Each structure stands twice: as structure tokens, then as C-alpha cells.
Structure 1
């Protein structure tokens, strides 16, 4: 049981929430940064791309998988490193395996990522059962902190060096105390009063102090020593942002240090894009953190086929408005990229792996928003029954619109018609990539800008939403 584990109860809650939402949806870096010798991994020299934002949990395990990742625009992977010493302190230290069962070869996966331009985040966790303060519970603090740091040291030393050259390491996963959602203890951080049935569970009074002093700070010092970056261990969505800020700013009585001073990238799970505003204003706009990640999004929320394309388009618009000055500043990773549920990105087969609707929606997004990105300064004025947002992708303007069936309209205010070339406008289904017939779109240029009228099909691609809506892109091509 010394492995990455997911809470069935929490996932059931997510599925319930997703069902409800589906009816309505969806620096002064100072000592917080490694030395200059560890420059961040760089993206396209042509500017920020939609692909900079997109990651997935797990690794692409074969050349066919890599090609599918490339089609979907996935450029980040995240998974575990271990198993460490699961049986005893006398066992050999092993950091060569990955996956929920530690049954896959990690060096092979990382080298495949490197060859194909996929960046890797390694998750460091958890406590070996023999070393757990709650007997046999790997989700509790280590009794011997030295055993924990030996594992962290072995993993970071090996994979920060050639030929792997990793620079991003995550400490633990979803450690928290009493949650805003009502749970007395977090799924992945248990104290002495933990109860499996939850009925007799009491709060873990030293939750912050034990995590900061016995797990986070010891691991963070090792990561910094190897000129690598510290990714916070994924704050759970049920935890509440006020609790997260309290944890980040908690100052250890033992060392007089805040956890925040030893975090490079803040990390949350399953939040909406606008939920990130507070974290940006408090910790990223003027430091000390370098950026904001979500290392888990999606899951059962992807039962709504609009969820992923809306999330990443909104995330790109948001990032462009929040000083997206480094390709690794903002990242979100989908949980999970493969499986048997129909809402995952792909179905693993047999006989062969195929795309699900969520995976196809990423392909359409990647193909439609393929150029270097920039903010769209022109205001959008939508008529009744339609809403959306927009950005610039290379020489194109791309609008993402959500609308009910029938003729709808939007004006791109202040946009001037190019004098030297013809402008092509396409209405593209966001889930299938189908381009509507030319008579489903009309364009009118005036002193007010570009007026677009578009016909939303009667059979909308979000029929399960309440009310039913259609998600599409309007691509205004070749404006420059």
C-alpha cells in the first residue's frame, strides 16, 4: 500500500458534483528559486502556446501513446517514483519504478519523455509503512525523518542528473488538516486520531506542524540543493483556499521558516480557473512563488464534454492576462489520460487505444489554437443566447462560444478589416472539429467592428447540459 492512492469516497463526491455541474456547465524570487544554473525548461521561442498549459497524470508508455499525446497537445506528465524501502530500513533503496503499483520502469519512461519533448514532474511520497507514525499507514508522517530524506535524496540526486535532467519535483499529495468540506482529516495526511470509517475520527491537531517539519522542509532543502524546483503537493479542492493560505504561511516554531518560502510552484486540485485569482494576487504577482499549477483536473467532471475545452481555453485567456512570462508558469494536468471510463481522454482497448470525446476535444483545441498566443484587446459583444471569450493565435482571432440552438451573433468591437487580403471565418464544432457550411456564418464589417452571425445546430453537442448548449470556435483567419 506504499503507493499513490485515490480516495473512492472523494471520487464519488466528485462524480456527484460533476453530475450537478454538468447540468449547468462545466519576482523577486530570492531564496524561493534555485540558482541561475537551473534555468526553467523552455517552450517555443515563438511565444506562449496552448500546449504549454496541458499535462496529464501518468506517462505515455509507447510510441503510439506519444503520438496521441502530441495530437492532444499534452506536453507534461506526472507520476510517482519509488518504491523506496517499503519493507524495512535494511532493504535496498529503490527509486527505479513508477505507477500506482510501482510496476513500470521509471528511467525508460523519463528518457522517452525527454526524446519526445514531454516534460516530467516526479511525485515524492509517501512514508514507508514500517516508518509511519500511524502504524502501517503510509499516509502519515515518518517517525524517522532520516528515512524519508534518504528516499528523497536518492530520487532527486538520480533524476536531476544526466541523462534525465529533471527540474521539477512534487512533495507529497494533498496533505491537509481539517477540510472546509467537513472532513476531519485529509485523504492523504493522517494523524493519531485517524479512523478508517470516519465516524470516530477527530482533527489532526499537529497536521500543519508535522507536515512542514517532518516532510516538506526536509524534502524542499534537498530539491533546492540539486538546483531543482519545488512543486507544492497539490492542495485538495475540499480544503478551501483560506485553509491553503494558512498552510502556506504557517511558520515552523522549530526553524522559524514558512512553508511558502520553500515552494516555487503553488499547486491545487480540481478548482476552476477563476479560483486561481486569489493565489496569483497574494503569492505570484509580486512573488515569492513562480507560478500556479493544478496537477489534477478533470476526472468525473469530464462527463460534461464541454469541461476540458472550456477549461483550457479559459485558462489560456486567464494566463495571458496574468503575466504569462514563462512557459512553465501555468500548467494543469488531467486526471487521467487513459482508462476504461468513457470520459477519460482515451480508452486503452483492447484491441487498440482509441480517443474518447474528451480526447478528441483536446485535438480540436490544439488544431484550432495552434499559433503563439496573445490577448484579444477587442471587446466581444454577444447577442441573446450566446456567450464566450477570445484570444489571438498567430495571425488568427479565435473565439470560443457557448450558445443555444438557432441563429446567434457576436461583434468583435473595433476590429478593422485588413485592406490587403481576404479574411476567412470558420464555425468549428469544439468536440468533433467539423466545420459548418459557409451558409451557417455571415460576416459584416462596419465602423463598429466585425459582426458575426452563426447558426447553432438544433442537435447541440452539449445536449446533456441544462439548458442544452453548443460549444464551438469561431476562427477569423489571416488577419495580418
Structure 2
């Protein structure tokens, strides 16, 4: 449940961050190369990276999404033809049980600046190659194609105008850790009673590429929309993912990669995305990299989510983030009863959990137009971190032990005024430390920041003590 003291800190963060703090004067004369007096315009925003699974179901839910900086949602569309081939094609429902009307959700998202990613899945049980198993390939591929066409034809057109459609979810073959078949892609030899004793699905790649992915992707592109791969599971291994992407279908004389616009993985660290960027995005053919599921029980670590999205922003800024939709990650899940979800469903009313509060702090702290901070950082003992620019602010995210800590950067001139303010902000609660507990100074072209980490840190008790915070350096007129 939400902590009232923490919530009050979040509510006052923006005002505190804008408050006038004592200026730290440069040790050299003001430089003409100092930070500009006016905020930068345009550019990327950290909120463009942040999505979640599920939908905001009410105006109050949307308000919470906006507070957390969430700009994408993801969920299934269907249910298709439920019982027989002669059934009507139903594509107006969404949710795990298809118990929510989808059209008003998409309209509401559009009006509130929320992108909608529709998941195209799965096989109707009556058309499944494994009797009754909706996670197996279709017997009749035309039934799958009719479902995909119905969804994309409807939602790519006005008034919905969606551009992104995801094909299936976590299709893979043999997984690391010994699992012979993937959780959402079953073939001959699958043992529903004991999945660990299933036989390997030998044609997993070929069946998926030829019976699911390329047929659906051709339809999506026919409507001038984009193909999002169906989320490669983290336990599948990137080497295997590459093999699937590169495999050339003799039936289509094409690779699956030829029919993918956005690569998609699940639950990887930010650094793990770099091989995909270097191989497939830097010079094409893919347009970008998404992770449509991150978080879940990883968010038991209260540092996980703010570190992930800050690292993701730093990473993206150095990898030609030239389109707002190029890089996206979606939290699984924004809503629930576990303390590691973004919000607690209630009753009596929905409240923020710590991960959700940490997103609010991130959005309020890194609120401006983003830029790469290219200067190397030198942290003193007991501290690590990274940095980026937000409008004219330099924002460090630091993970540090209690006590006085330092970070410096060479090649960073002082502001033209010779003055700056500095703030030390708890990354989970938004609490701003007293003004005397963070200082900044310059020695010619070297900026030095000194900050005091509280003795009561906000990291997990089971880990070595550590405190996650933002140090914001803001030039003053």
C-alpha cells in the first residue's frame, strides 16, 4: 500500500526542484561555452520510452499513467472465431478473458497521447494442430490470416489509426534451462500435464515463420502498418533469436527478418540489446528495438525500474534515437495485488506501489528534452552511476553507499553566469535533501559534485547497502 509520507514527497518534488538554492560559484571566469540560458526545444523525452501491459480503464487510471509517464499500452485483440469456421469474426474485445471493449479503449488512448500495441494471438482451439491447444500452429492458415486481416483492417483505419501490430507472443523452440518447448508455442510432443517432460518441437522455427509470422506480416504491411516481432523470451538466448531471424523460408524465399520492422525481446538488461542494435538496427533493416515485457518480479528490487529506464535513455541517446517510437519498453504489469506491480488495485481505491512512485520521480526529475552527456565520469569510492542532459540540467543517477560521495567530469565548462544549483533527490520517494548536502564547483573545465548519501538507504536489505538517487545540476542566470 502507498506510504502517505512518500506520496507527500512526490507531490512536492516539482516545486522543490524549481526552488532557488544557494548558487555554487565557478572558480574561473564565466565561460561563453556555458549552458544556454533558455531550455532546449524539441528532442526526445523519457516518457517516449515507457509503456506497460494492459490498458487504463478509467479517467483516474489515465491520470495515474500520465503521472508515471506511461505513453504505451499493450494487450490482445479478439477473440476471433471462437467455436467453428462459420462463426462471426469478433475483434472488438481485449484483455486476458476478452472481457473489455477495445474500440473505446483505443479512442481514449488516442485522445490522451497513449500509443496502443495490439497483440495478434492465438489459434482458436478448434483450428489448433494440437487438439484444443491455442498455443499451437493453426491447421488452416487461412483462418489465422482472416483474423489478422480483420484486426488490422479495422484498427489501422479511422478513427483508430493504429500503426503497430505485434505477431504472437514468445514463440521459440528449445529454451535454455532445459525446457524443450516454449510456453506459448507448442508442437508435437508437448506434454500439457508436465511441460518439462515434453519432447523438443523440431519444426518450431519453420512452423512459426511459415504459418504465423510471414502470413501475418504481409497483411500488416499491406495496410501500411508496422510489424512488431512477438517478444523473444529471455531464456531463449539471443544466438537462437538471431538464427530464427536469419532463417530463410523456402516456401516464401524470405527470412523472417525481412518481415520484421521492430525487434522485440522480453526481460533483458539494457546492455543485452546492443548486439541487436549493432547487427540489425544501426544500418537496418529493422527500424528499432522494443521490449514489450520487462519488470514483473524483477521489480521486487526497488531500484530495478528507475535504473532500467534511466539506463535505457542513456543507451538510446547514444544510438541514433531519431524517432519517438524507435525504442520502447513495457512494464509487466501496471496493475495488480503484488507489491512489485506499478499500482495496487484496491479496494478501496487504486494506489501506487514503490515501482510506480519511482516512475513518477523519474518523470518529474528528467522532464525536459534529452541529450547525451558525452563526458567521462569519475566517481569517488562508494559510488557509481551515469548521466544525461534534460533541457539545461545535467542529471546524474547515482547508486552510492552512505556518507559523502563525489563525481566529477572534465570538459564541462561552468555556466556563463558562473552560478548553478544542485539537488540530491531520492529516486524512490522524490525527497529532496537539505541544500547543504549537495554542492557543485568548477576548476577550469572540470565540474565536481559532492553529495551526502543518507545513512538509511533505499536499497534492498538483502543486498549490500546502496542508495539510488538523482543529482541534478542546474545553471542559474
State the Cα distance separating 1:180 from its structure 2 match.
Answer: 2.3
1:341 corresponds to which residue? 338
2:395 corresponds to which residue? 398
Farther off after superposition, 106-115 or 176-185: 176-185
Alignment of 1:135-284 (within 5 A): 135-196=131-192, 197-284=194-281
1:62 corresponds to which residue? 58
State the Cα distance separating 1:326 from its structure 2 match.
Answer: 0.6
Against the structure 1 CA distance between its residues 52 and 415, is the aligned structure 2 distance closer, same or farther, given a 3 Å change threshold? same
The CA deviation string for residues 129-162 of structure 1, in whole angstroms up to 9 with x for no partner, is 0000000000000000011011001000000000
User: Matched residue of 2:389: which SS?
Assistant: strand
**What CA distance in whole angstroms lies between the structure 1 residues aligned with 2:195 and 2:290?**
30
User: Matched residue of 1:155: which SS?
Assistant: helix
2:453 corresponds to which residue? 456
2:126 corresponds to which residue? 130
**What CA distance in whole angstroms lies between the structure 1 residues aligned with 2:63 and 2:378?**
39
The CA deviation string for residues 82-135 of structure 1, in whole angstroms up to 9 with x for no partner, is 000121111111000000000000001100000101011000000000000000
User: Matched residue of 2:292: which SS?
Assistant: strand
CA contact (8 A) 1:396 1:479 kept: no
By relative contact order (CA 8 Å, sep 6+), the higher-ranking structure is: 2
Against the structure 1 CA distance between its residues 373 and 401, is the aligned structure 2 distance closer, same or farther, given a 3 Å change threshold? same
**What CA distance in whole angstroms lies between the structure 1 residues aligned with 2:377 and 2:270?**
20
Against the structure 1 CA distance between its residues 235 and 45, is the aligned structure 2 distance closer, same or farther, given a 3 Å change threshold? farther
Q: What is the RMSD of the two structures over their aligned residues, measured on CA atoms?
A: 1.2
* Corresponding position: 1:427 with 2:424: yes
Against the structure 1 CA distance between its residues 115 and 193, is the aligned structure 2 distance closer, same or farther, given a 3 Å change threshold? same
User: Matched residue of 2:397: which SS?
Assistant: strand
State the Cα distance separating 1:478 from its structure 2 match.
Answer: 2.9
The count of residues paired between Structure 1 and Structure 2 equals 437
2:67 corresponds to which residue? 71
* Corresponding position: 1:107 with 2:103: yes
**What CA distance in whole angstroms lies between the structure 2 residues aligned with 1:181 and 1:243?**
14
2:32 corresponds to which residue? none
CA contact (8 A) 2:372 2:388 kept: yes
1:444 corresponds to which residue? 441
CA contact (8 A) 2:417 2:476 kept: no
User: Matched residue of 1:81: which SS?
Assistant: strand
User: Matched residue of 2:254: which SS?
Assistant: coil
State the Cα distance separating 1:419 from its structure 2 match.
Answer: 3.0
The CA deviation string for residues 199-225 of structure 1, in whole angstroms up to 9 with x for no partner, is 531111111111111110110010000
Task: Find 1:418's aligned residue among 415, 424, 429.
Answer: 415
**What CA distance in whole angstroms lies between the structure 2 residues aligned with 1:326 and 1:199?**
42
Task: Find 1:326's aligned residue among 323, 328, 331.
Answer: 323
**What CA distance in whole angstroms lies between the structure 2 residues aligned with 1:393 and 1:458?**
29
2:368 corresponds to which residue? 371
**What CA distance in whole angstroms lies between the structure 1 residues aligned with 2:355 and 2:473?**
24
CA contact (8 A) 1:55 1:74 kept: yes
CA contact (8 A) 1:181 1:239 kept: no
**What CA distance in whole angstroms lies between the structure 2 residues aligned with 1:221 and 1:367?**
41
Against the structure 1 CA distance between its residues 247 and 324, is the aligned structure 2 distance closer, same or farther, given a 3 Å change threshold? same
**What CA distance in whole angstroms lies between the structure 2 residues aligned with 1:325 and 1:411?**
29
**What CA distance in whole angstroms lies between the structure 2 residues aligned with 1:479 and 1:187?**
55
**What CA distance in whole angstroms lies between the structure 2 residues aligned with 1:479 and 1:182?**
58
The CA deviation string for residues 296-345 of structure 1, in whole angstroms up to 9 with x for no partner, is 00000000000000000000000001111111000000000010001110
Against the structure 1 CA distance between its residues 427 and 301, is the aligned structure 2 distance closer, same or farther, given a 3 Å change threshold? same
**What CA distance in whole angstroms lies between the structure 1 residues aligned with 2:329 and 2:187?**
30
The CA deviation string for residues 32-91 of structure 1, in whole angstroms up to 9 with x for no partner, is xxxxxxxxxxxx971100001000000111110111100100000000100001211111
**What CA distance in whole angstroms lies between the structure 1 residues aligned with 2:167 and 2:177?**
23
User: Matched residue of 2:212: which SS?
Assistant: helix
1:298 corresponds to which residue? 295
Bigger Rg, which one: 2
**What CA distance in whole angstroms lies between the structure 2 residues aligned with 1:256 and 1:452?**
58
Farther off after superposition, 45-54 or 300-309: 45-54
CA contact (8 A) 2:180 2:196 kept: no
1:83 corresponds to which residue? 79
CA contact (8 A) 2:301 2:460 kept: no
**What CA distance in whole angstroms lies between the structure 2 residues aligned with 1:86 and 1:274?**
42
**What CA distance in whole angstroms lies between the structure 2 residues aligned with 1:218 and 1:113?**
28
Normalising by the residue count of structure 2, what TM-score does the alignment of the two structures yield? 0.90
Unaligned runs of 5+ in 2: 1-39
**What CA distance in whole angstroms lies between the structure 2 residues aligned with 1:59 and 1:237?**
24
